[in-house]
Chains A and B, each alone.
Chain A
Amino acid sequence: MNSTPVIDVDRLNLKYGDFHAVKDLSFQVRRGEFYALLGTNGAGKTSTLETIEGHRAPTSGTVRVLGKSPQDRAAVRPKMGIMLQESGFSPDLTVKESVRLIGKLTQRTDRVERVLSVVDLTRKANTKVSQLSGGEKRRLDFATAVYGTPELVFLDEPTTGLDIQSRDAVWDAVDKLREDGSTIVLTTHYLEEAQQRADRIGLMHRGTFHQEGTVAELTQTLPAMIKFVLPPSAPALPLQGRRETDEKFLIETHHLQKDLFTLLRWAQDHAVELRELEAGPTRLDDVFRAIDNS
């Protein structure tokens, strides 16, 4: 991965009338990176994404994609695949016709059959879009985004409505794109997908970044948790904790390994059984909850 920015957003502002949707947002996405743009509802991530894609003009600030303005479609779109949040296909065209049309208009070259096999839509090639299920439409959308293996791929809620096999197929295809050097920009409500795959995450709240960094950087700001059920007769714990219920204990720690070891040794020494023991690092879900609570 080199450090050339594929996306360069500098002091982006977007206003709809009096509503300030995006406020002074600046960030970069490097070549080959998997960047997740996440946020609470109404945080401004769709507005940001649509501006980077070139669907929307900034109120102020600059956006450069692959060194050019994203609104210069003829220059940037041949290198850029876009999976929209909603399908946007003509219901009277077949799957094959839709991929052929959009593929041709991207000016990239590929085989329609190859792209359809990637998303397991080969059997539906001659089916009208109006007869596809919601999940199949998402896969069709993905197929047009990855047609011709673009340098930069935008995935807006790519796995919404997909069954587990289809999700796996989509992520396998994304992994293949990354092997080929593509840069991926993802927005999703499935935080575990971002947590598992993203190199970096931009976490938006109320129109700007609340935090930006790797998963480890985002989650280290909050303590990890150790949860367990403790019998009432147990001796005093060696660590500070609090009861979530009468029986259930919660210990929050920034030193998970050390404190877990201390706890287990204490349990061993006192022959205490820690039932329903759970211990793990902070998840993105917890970071989101913390934002909401703030």
Chain B
Amino acid sequence: MLSIALSELIQIFRNRSVLITSFVMPIAICAFFVYQHELFAQIGSLGYIAAIVMFTVSAFGLYTSAVTTLASRRQNLFLKRLRSTAAGDAGILTGLVLPVTVIALIQVAVIMTVLGVVTGMPDNIALLALAVVATVAMMIGLGLATAGLTNSPEHAQVTTLPVSLGVIAVASWIGITGTEELTLLKRLLPGGSATELVMNAWNGGIALADSLLLLAPTLAWVLVAVVFASRLFRWEPRR
């Protein structure tokens, strides 16, 4: 698994377009949010900025990269090649998505640290970390499921749009309007409860037990994504 992860890391840093679209662009967008934090805090809250940062990186740096990577490796039969070895399926998939996951986590940590230094530290760092990890797990699951529907890296530019734009739209909607109205709908949408959890962790003022309940819908989405992935994921191109 680690040797696959290392080879993936090498490939990421050798592929300039992947590096720019998946890692430089999300950082640039997040930097804009941090730079304009007073404006966005006025529209929503500092927790909203943290949620948007998390979903921007998770959607473009992690989810889109994972789908593109898996589609590309399947298209050029690299997945079949890996399955010609003694490596197990779980080890292969973990190795392939581990580098983008670690890079995404580092990106989120760095940007949130900068946000914290500029605006003041979050109320509950542990809860924030939990929200980020749950969101990352959800996006990986959705990535595996989407990869099953994606024939090529070019196709990924289309197939990833609904989820990546969807979670950012949900985060913006909840970040700006809160969850006092349409509470159930907002919490059940993918990324909805995770956004609220991040906002609670950053802004504070909500009981920990109430916040922890918000983990359930996010973890349910992980489960749904894994079920879809197990049904949709393909190791070889369609013939």
Contacts and interface: CB of A to CB of B under 8 A. Distances in A.
Interface stretch (A27-35, A81-89, A208-216): A81-89
Query: Which residue among A77, A88, A106 has the maximum number of chain B CB atoms within 10 Å of its CB?
Result: A88
Contacts of A6: none
A144 B81 CA distance: 10
A97 B10 contact: yes
Given A92-B14, A93-B7, A78 B78 contact: no
B139 interface: no
Query: Which residue among B73, B79, B84, B87 has the maximum number of chain A CB atoms within 10 Å of its CB?
Result: B84
Interface in B102-139: none
Query: Which residue among B14, B76, B81, B236 has the maximum number of chain A CB atoms within 10 Å of its CB?
Result: B81
B4 interface: yes
Contact of B86 (A55, A77, A89, A93): A77
A88 B81 contact: yes
Interface string B84-103: 11111000000000000000
A144 B87 CA distance: 15
Contact of A88 (B10, B15, B76, B87): B76
Interface residues of A, number: 26
A53 interface: yes
A97 B7 contact: yes
Contacts of B76: 87-91
A131 interface: no
A106 B77 contact: no
Contacts of B10: 92-93, 97
Contacts of B15: 92
Nearest to B85: A105
A89 B85 contact: no
Label chain B's interface by main secondary structure: helix
B11 interface: yes
B230 to A, nearest CB: 16
A142 B38 CA distance: 60
Interface residues of B, number: 22
Contacts of A78: 86
Contacts of A73: 83, 85-88
A74 B88 contact: yes
A102 interface: yes
B176 interface: no
Interface string A101-123: 11011110000000000000000
A89 B81 contact: yes
Interface string B65-78: 00000000100111
Nearest to B12: A92
A101 B84 contact: no
A171 to B, nearest CB: 22
B82 interface: yes
Interface in B1-38: 3-4, 7, 10-11, 14-15
A66 B49 CA distance: 58
A55 B78 CA distance: 13
Given A77-B84, A77-B85, A87 B77 contact: yes
Given A89-B78, A91-B76, A92-B14, A84 B84 contact: yes
Nearest to B8: A90
A84 B76 CA distance: 12
Contact of A105 (B4, B77, B79, B80): B4
Contacts of B85: 73, 77, 102, 105-107
Contacts of A82: 84
A107 B11 CA distance: 22
Given A86-B77, A102-B84, 18 more contacts: A55-B80, A73-B86, A78-B86, A87-B76, A87-B77, A88-B79, A89-B78, A89-B81, A90-B7, A93-B10, A97-B7, A97-B10, A100-B3, A101-B4, A105-B85, A105-B86, A106-B86, A144-B81
7 pairs of A and B residues whose beta carbons are closest in the complex: A88-B77, A105-B85, A88-B81, A77-B86, A82-B84, A92-B11, A92-B14
10 contacts: A73-B83, A77-B85, A82-B84, A89-B76, A90-B76, A92-B10, A92-B11, A93-B7, A97-B10, A105-B82
